[in-house]
Amino acid sequence: MKNLLPQQAHDWLQTHPDALFVDVRMEIESMYVGRPPGVVNVPWYDYPDLQPDAQKFVEAVAQHTTGKHQPLLLICRSGQRTLAAGKALENAGFTDVQHVLHGFEGALDAHFKRSTLSGWRFDGLPWEQM
């Protein structure tokens, strides 16, 4: 899996129009916190269990792809869930997986706030909110 900083990920998407951009956060999280435009939401885990099911996740992603060689870019809140989700995809045979370092909101600052140090939104990249 390739690690891309948010601006690198945005640039990568511009040169890979066939890529599938996947937000692995829960849908409610993606809708209310914000998300990049055009992203497909496939949660790594969801309510009520809040436990990942790698096989279910891989099957859900596969429904949106043209095959295991289609380029994939994963994003989450801080870049942690995408590590496990990307590994599950690679273990299932996906060959071109990238993830956004620092995710959408980035790391916590000294005041326990996100989007102040790093992340997609911090870098001023396109995003939308429901």
Domain contains 119 = no
Domain contains 65 = yes
Q: Which residues of the chain fall short of a pLDDT of 70?
A: none
Domain contains 53 = yes
Domain contains 121 = no
* pTM score: 0.95
- The total number of structural domains in the chain stands at 1
Whole-number pLDDT of residue 11: 98
Whole-number pLDDT of residue 47: 86
Domain contains 44 = yes
Domain contains 66 = yes
What CATH number did the domain enclosing 86 receive? 3.40.250.10
> Which pair of structure tokens corresponds to residue 79?
């870049």
Q: Which domain holds residue 82?
A: 2-100
CA 124 to centroid of chain Cα atoms: 17
CA distances from 51 to 37, 40, 69, 85 (A): 27, 20, 27, 12
Q: What confidence tens digit (pLDDT) does each residue in 24-47 have?
A: 999 999 999 999 999 999 999 998
Domain contains 9 = yes
